[in-house]
Amino acid sequence: MNTTTLTVATGVLTASASYVGWWASLAPRSFYDSFPGLNRMWVGGDGPYNEHLVRDVGGLYLALAVAGVLAIAWRERRTTLLLGAAWTTFSVLHLGYHLHHLDDLAAVDAVGNVVALGGTLVLAVLLLVPARAGARTEVAA
């Protein structure tokens, strides 16, 4: 995997985590009622509002965002692997849950949900791919 691809994947995952994290942490009711935005609702149909749960989700995403910022700043292969492993673990479980709970979503939302969550899994797995032969691994974030 080349350095640019790893940096872009890290950046997209970090931006995604920041978006979800700040929104869920600072405005949990809005997040519950309106996520992902654009007049769509992917969270509210999944049961009664629970501020504690939504704030915890926000904190989780913010932790992933902080790890992503550090991975970009440090540009070390071990840091990128750690970030990829954390995102992959989270993404497999998160996508797995949502794949079994798409029935209450409109078709466009079900597709959007699977594409968004599947996309984070693909990006996370990219961070786990070994560097190309001859690539400098100490600058592989």
Burial grade of 2 (CB within 10 A; 0-12, 13-18, 19 or more): exposed
Does the pLDDT at position 1 exceed 70? yes
Rounded average pLDDT over 107-122: 96
The boundaries of the domain holding residue 132 are 3-139
Dihedral (Cα; 124, 129, 134, 135), 10-degree rounding: 10
Tokens of 1: 């995997």
CA distances from 87 to 32, 95, 123 (A): 22, 11, 9
Local confidence band at 139 (pLDDT 50, 70, 90 cut-offs): very low
Does the pLDDT at position 124 exceed 50? yes
Which has the higher per-residue pLDDT, 134 or 55?
55
Q: Which range among 31-35, 44-48, 56-60 shows the weakest confidence by mean pLDDT?
A: 44-48
Amino acid at 124: A
Rounded average pLDDT over 39-53: 89
Burial grade of 65 (CB within 10 A; 0-12, 13-18, 19 or more): buried
Q: Helix or strand or coil: residue 40?
A: strand
Does the pLDDT at position 12 exceed 80? yes
Give me the number of domains the chain comprises.
1
For 58-91, what is each residue's pLDDT tens digit? Answer: 999 999 999 999 999 999 999 999 999 999 999 9
Closest CA to 41 of 120, 109, 116: 109
User: According to the model, what pLDDT value does residue 56 have?
Assistant: 94
Percent of the chain residues topping a pLDDT of 90? 81
Region label for 75, one of left (φ > 0), alpha (ψ between -120 and 50) or beta (otherwise): left
Local confidence band at 47 (pLDDT 50, 70, 90 cut-offs): confident
What is the 8-class DSSP label of residue 47? Answer: S
